[in-house]
């Protein structure tokens, strides 16, 4: 087999292996982080990321969360933070 064929087979194998990931079981009492926590976590994510490099207990994304609304708030928070930084850099 040539290099391209081996590379393609390796790539396909790695993609199929990555599909086997699972999430841990959620056991909560119903108080999951929602939109507002997602917005806050997105806004502080750059600082939290730096802290998470040195701490095993810090994560930039809450799991478990309420799903779509948390994700929406998180993305708005990340976008608001980066938009606020780069808004003054227009030429």
Residue 2 maps to a domain: no
What pLDDT does residue 33 have?
Answer: 84
Nearest-angstrom CA–CA distance, 73 and 80: 10
Residue 7 maps to a domain: no
Residue 48 maps to a domain: yes
What pLDDT does residue 5 have?
Answer: 92
User: What pTM was computed for the model?
Assistant: 0.59
Residue 16 maps to a domain: no
Q: Averaged over 48-73, what is the pLDDT?
A: 85
For 52, the domain range is 31-91
pLDDT at 23 over 70: no
Tally of domains in the chain: 1
Cβ neighbours for 59, distance < 8 A, ≥ 6 positions apart: 48, 52
Residue 36 maps to a domain: yes
Residue 10 maps to a domain: no
Residue 24 maps to a domain: no
Contact assessment for residue 34 and residue 69, using Cβ atoms and an 8 Å cutoff: yes
First to last CA, the chain: 53
């Amino acid at each position: 087999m040539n290099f391209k064929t081996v590379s393609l087979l390796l790539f396909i194998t790695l993609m199929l292996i990555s599909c086997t990931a699972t999430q841990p079981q959620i056991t909560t009492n119903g108080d999951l982080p929602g939109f507002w926590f997602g917005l806050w976590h997105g806004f502080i994510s750059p600082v939290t990321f730096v802290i998470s490099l040195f701490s095993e207990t810090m994560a930039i994304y809450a799991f478990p969360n309420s799903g779509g609304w948390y994700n929406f708030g998180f993305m708005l928070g990340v976008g608001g933070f980066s938009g606020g930084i780069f808004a003054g850099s227009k030429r």
